[in-house]
Amino acid sequence: MAAASLSGFASQTPEPRLTDSLGRVIHDLRVSITDRCNYKCVYCRTGEMGAQYPELGIDEYLRLIKLFVGLGITKVRLTGGEPLLRRGLVELVSELAGLRTLGGEPLDLALTTNGHLLDGLAGPLKAAGLHRVTVSMDAVDAAIFERITRIPGSFATVLRGVRTARTAGLMPLKINCVLLRGFNDDQIEDFARFAREECVVVRFIEFMPLEEGRLWSPEIVVTLKEIVERIGRVLPLVELPARDASETARRYTFEDGIGEIGIIAPVSQAFCGACSRVRLTSDGKIRTCLFSQVEHDLYGRLRAGACDQELREYILRTVEGKEARHHIGEPGFLKPSRSMVHIGG
Ligand code: SAM
């Protein structure tokens, strides 16, 4: 009798879950599957193309992602570099769609892309089980867009991709726009109209010191406060309630309830206290913060023959040491050794 109740107790022992030393529960994994990109956005890249870091095999990303899911990850976002460049992407999405969270639910599966190849890939990705895409667009004026991406014809190509993704049902479709004073801040009001006309959620993101060159300064950042004031002058905004504590965007609709915009303000209103994210780089390193000064070589351990249990313990230990917060704008702030495109935005 006693033995039976003891074994019953053992089978109910909860699985270990990713939690850091500050008690933050980590349930959101971003995986870069290449650091190559077909755009050279002026605020992100120096203009060099090509990979700086090695890529893993698709089966290796899958093995590592499964370990994270077994530790409580419920949301996986594929990113890069440009993830649509990666051969095997559709097959990876299809495998991920078959995974279940610890609670037995399908993963929340999303992808961030520049949209250049989306027209051809939105349908296959949706069919493989992808739920949502976020498309990066930094202007709605074609000439400004192409000046930023440094790729002729890019605006029309991306707009076509956005529309195809919407038709394919990759919804809600989010458009991420990084604003830089003097580059594209004249696009703010037009983006608000674009959100309404194209039925997309436009999210403005404050520029962070993660570029390949040296462009960042506090003055170049267009803050949440300024964006809300400027849109409010032409289209009055109504703030929407947060859906959960780890939501990064402050969300707004318009007076008639049509359309949504969001503002992600990591610089002027940091949300590190509610961070639920961890990242895996294209070469298999864990980064516990965008601004980490150290990386943790998960793939190196896999290659050295570590078994799944050893890798799980390594992930748990690493995530426990997640940084409390970033130090953007403070004296002594150090830029991380990798820029956004090589970390996975
Ligand atoms: N190629 C994909 C794309 O364009 O969405 C994924 C990678 S890209 C590096 C991810 C996002 O990071 C893009 O929306 C880009 O605008 C953003 N980004 C790049 N550098 C940034 C910076 N310094 N601060 C804030 N966002 C940045």
The per-residue pLDDT string of the chain (345 residues; one tens digit each, 9 = 90 and over) reads 334 444 444 456 677 899 999 999 999 999 999 999 999 999 999 877 678 999 999 999 999 999 999 999 999 999 999 999 999 999 999 999 999 999 999 999 999 999 999 999 999 999 999 999 999 999 999 999 999 999 999 999 999 999 999 999 999 999 999 999 999 999 999 999 999 999 999 999 999 999 888 889 999 999 999 999 999 999 999 999 998 887 889 999 999 999 999 999 999 999 899 999 999 999 999 999 999 999 999 999 999 999 999 999 999 999 999 999 999 989 989 999 899 999 998
Whether the CB-CB separation of 133 and 113 falls below 8 Å is answered with: yes
Take atom 14 of ligand 1 and give the residue whose Cα is closest: 136
CA pair distance 271, 176, nearest whole angstrom? 18
Q: What tokens were used for 324?
A: 């409390």
CA pair distance 345, 342, nearest whole angstrom? 8
H or E element at residue 344:
none
pLDDT of residue 6: 43
> 149 CB contacts (<8 Å, ≥6 apart)?
39, 40, 41, 114, 138
H or E element at residue 163:
helix 154-168
Whether the CB-CB separation of 132 and 79 falls below 8 Å is answered with: no
Name the residue type at position 320: E
207 Cα nearest atom in ligand 1: 24
- Does the beta carbon of 115 lie inside 6 Å of ligand 1? no
Name the residue type at position 63: R
pLDDT of residue 5: 42
Q: Is the pTM of this model over 0.75?
A: yes
CA pair distance 187, 177, nearest whole angstrom? 10
Distance 103 CA to ligand 1 centre (A): 31
- Does the beta carbon of 339 lie inside 6 Å of ligand 1? no
- Does the beta carbon of 290 lie inside 6 Å of ligand 1? no
- Does the beta carbon of 266 lie inside 6 Å of ligand 1? no
pLDDT of residue 13: 65
- Does the beta carbon of 178 lie inside 6 Å of ligand 1? yes
Phi and psi angles of residue 102, each rounded to the nearest 5 degrees, phi first: -60, -25
- Does the beta carbon of 340 lie inside 6 Å of ligand 1? yes
- Does the beta carbon of 221 lie inside 6 Å of ligand 1? no
pLDDT of residue 12: 60
